[in-house]
Amino acid sequence: MSTTGYLPDVDDPLTAPFWAAAREHRLVAQRCVNGHFRWTPSELCPDCLAPEATWEPLRGEATVWSLAVYHRAMHPAFAGRVPYTVAMLELPEGIRMLGTIETSTGDADRDGEVRIGDIVTATFDAVTDDVTLVRWRAGVE
């Protein structure tokens, strides 16, 4: 699969710590000085407006809150993965993330294999030497 055109800027000062952790197979998010996790990364906490934050580890599991199964590639890089599932995931830490879901075999998820309420686990896909993407796997025991 060609990844040209959809890879993140791993040098962006706001998100670089997230991508560095992903390269180490760790899932992290910002946590402000008052204890609020925040996602997406931002300069201010949306709950208390504190600018100070650290990058804290997350459990790496989530509950599928909502999902959509794409039967048409929304970017040429995804053409070989159709159909694929994109889900809004609710993490125990109180934040939500978007992510692509894969089955336990590593194949792109097929329509109906993942449902709202299912538990998924973070996995890490090194697509280049510099970029490791976080994906979510269903059916892990």
Dump pLDDT digits (tens) for 121-130.
Answer: 999 999 999 9
Maximal C-alpha separation, the chain: 44
* Any domain includes 89: yes
If one counts the domains in the chain, the total is 1
Whether a cis peptide bond, with omega within 30° of 0, leads into 40 is yes
User: Coil, helix or strand for 80?
Assistant: helix
Most confident of 20-34, 80-94, 100-114: 20-34
CA distance 56 to 62: 16
* Any domain includes 117: yes
**C-alpha distance from residue 77 to each of 7, 27, 123 (Å):** 10, 24, 19
* Any domain includes 6: no
Q: How many CA atoms lie within 13 A of 22 on its CB side?
A: 23
Average pLDDT, the chain: 89
CA distance 110 to 134: 19
* Any domain includes 9: no
Confidence of residue 110 (pLDDT cuts 50, 70, 90): low
Which residues span the domain enclosing 86? 16-138
* Any domain includes 91: yes
Which tokens sit at 138?
Answer: 């269903």
**pLDDT tops 70 at residue 83:** yes
Q: Rounded to the nearest 5 degrees, what angle is found at the Cα of 24, between the Cα atoms of 40 and 66?
A: 40
* Any domain includes 1: no
Q: What is the pTM of this model?
A: 0.86
pLDDT at res. 113: 81
| Higher pLDDT among residues 136 and 3, named by residue | 136
